Amino acid sequence: MNKANKIIYFIIVILFLQIQAVKCSPKVNAKTAILVDFDSDEILYELEPDMQIYPASMTKIMTSIIAFDLIKNNRLSLDDKIIISEKAWRMSQSGYSSMFIMINDEVTVEDLLRGIIVVSGNDACVALAEGIAGTEENFAEMMNEKAGEIGMTNSNFTNSSGINDPDNYSTVRDIAIMSKYLIKNYPALYELYAEKEFTWDKTGGDPITQGNRNGLLYKNIGADGIKTGYLAVEKYSLASTIKRETRRLISVGSGFNTKSSRTSESIKLLSWGFRNTDTFEISKKNETQFDIKTWLGKKNIVKGTTKEDFYITLSKKDSRKLKVILEYSGPVKAPIKKDQKIANLKVYKKDELTETIPIYASEDVKKINFFKSVFTSINYMIWGDV
């Protein structure tokens, strides 16, 4: 190959690699974005994921988490009624998104939650915050405490609604963490996020029906949440999720230029994730069982389990190269105690070890009596049969 041909060949290779890179990574028209697999926590795509943003109404995810947590622990009921203060009412008179509650209305927690989640009512946020914590400032302290508890390391909340405040900030990474926590810990209450509209029987007027601002809910693509946001300084934002069969992806983006683009760009990112990657369940905590041979035990097999759920996400092209091997020095000699580590599950991508998962005994296995152990040992020495 002469020098000119070598140069042409080199250029072709570079162009091919660039084309492949474009294919492998979508271009998302946003200021910051992230795409995460719900089960494996694998980050499939990121664009400045730790850039500080104003989360706007995505703040309301944490507001609902505080309420959901109290409901789950029987410290709050959906039927509890909250008296609406002047502060909460004034939110609906200031041009903000509202469910249009009135002063001294007695509104159930369930209706306020729908006002927050479905129609993004800032008045409902203030009312719920005051009903739970006495003041919105006290409620913000609860929000920050919860944020720290679940691993949101770059967020600070100063109000329950996300309206203009430079000290109310977060990142798309933190909002993805918050979104997963919401879905995982409150599956029944999370169903409110899939509702497309809410009708509020307004005091002193006709009922008001408002639609959910999350455009993904109106597409037949498996979306069931989560929350939109808008601030003039931040433009449009969206925390969204799609579940297809058993797999769920979460996307968070901020700095979209228009309402329509936050929908279309989020769909593009989520669809890309499903198209180009697969997630495999390796083990479910205390459910998936592995047969481990025993030696001198009253049982020949002890069931092994993991103490955590383990999933792995791979690109489609690497899916065929996944290999899972159960390794242990065995048979494992009795007596065996429940929760004793007895094996390792090793996960390989190609020939590279990516995960070592400890396996623990799910039960006690007692040792056989002395005479039977002698017979078994002699049998093994003669026949090699354990």
Residue 154: name the closest of 54, 36, 34, 43 by CA.
54
Average pLDDT, the chain: 91
pLDDT given for residue 5 in this prediction: 46
77 catalytic per annotation: no
Q: What is the pLDDT of residue 344?
A: 96
Confidence at residue 17, expressed as pLDDT on a 0 to 100 scale: 38
Taking the C-alpha atoms of residue 266 and residue 254, their distance in angstroms, rounded to an integer, is 10
pLDDT on residue 205: 84
Q: Residue 18: what pLDDT?
A: 40
Q: Is the pLDDT of residue 163 over 70?
A: yes
CB 60 within 8 A of CB 117: yes
- DSSP code of 142? H
- The one catalytic residue among 31, 60, 227, 235: 60
Quote the CA–CA distance of 228 and 253 in Å, as a whole number: 10
Give the per-residue pLDDT at 301: 94
Range of weakest confidence among 3-17, 112-126, 267-281, 307-321: 3-17
% pLDDT > 90, the chain? 82
Question: Length of the chain, please?
Answer: 386
Strand partners, 34: 46, 252
Please state the domain extents for the chain: 27-277, 284-383
List Cβ neighbours of 90 (8 Å cut-off, separation of 6 or more): none
pLDDT tens digits along 292-341? 999 888 899 999 999 999 999 999 998 888 999 999 997 999 999 999 99
Residue whose token pair is 């409150």: 186
Which pLDDT band, with edges at 50, 70 and 90, does 12 fall under? very low
Residue 120 is a catalytic residue: yes
SS3 253: strand
- Please state which of the ranges 95-99, 210-214, 228-232 shows the lowest mean pLDDT: 95-99
Residues with Cβ < 8 Å from 358, sequence gap 6 or more?
A: 306, 307, 341, 343, 344, 345
pLDDT for the residue 368: 81
Indicate the pTM of the whole model: 0.88
pLDDT digits (tens, 9 = 90+) for 353-382: 999 999 999 999 998 865 555 555 555 556
Query: In the annotation, is 60 catalytic?
Result: yes
The architecture of the domain spanning 284-383 is Sandwich (2.60)
Tell whether the model's pLDDT for residue 70 goes beyond 80: yes
Give the per-residue pLDDT at 4.
Answer: 47
Task: Return the ∠ at Cα 276 (arms to 273 and 282), rounded to 5°.
Answer: 85
Among residues 40, 57, 85, 97, the one annotated as catalytic is 57
Region 184-205: mean pLDDT is: 95
pLDDT tens track for 81-90? 999 999 999 9
> Which residue did the predictor score with more confidence, 212 or 164?
212
Catalytic-role residue among 40, 92, 120, 251: 120
Domains 27-277 and 284-383 share a fold: no
- Determine the Cα–Cα distance for residues 27 and 16; give it in Å rounded to an integer: 18
Architecture per CATH, 27-277: 3-Layer(aba) Sandwich (3.40)
Q: What is the pLDDT of residues 250-294, one digit of tens each?
A: 999 999 999 999 999 999 999 999 999 999 999 999 999 999 999
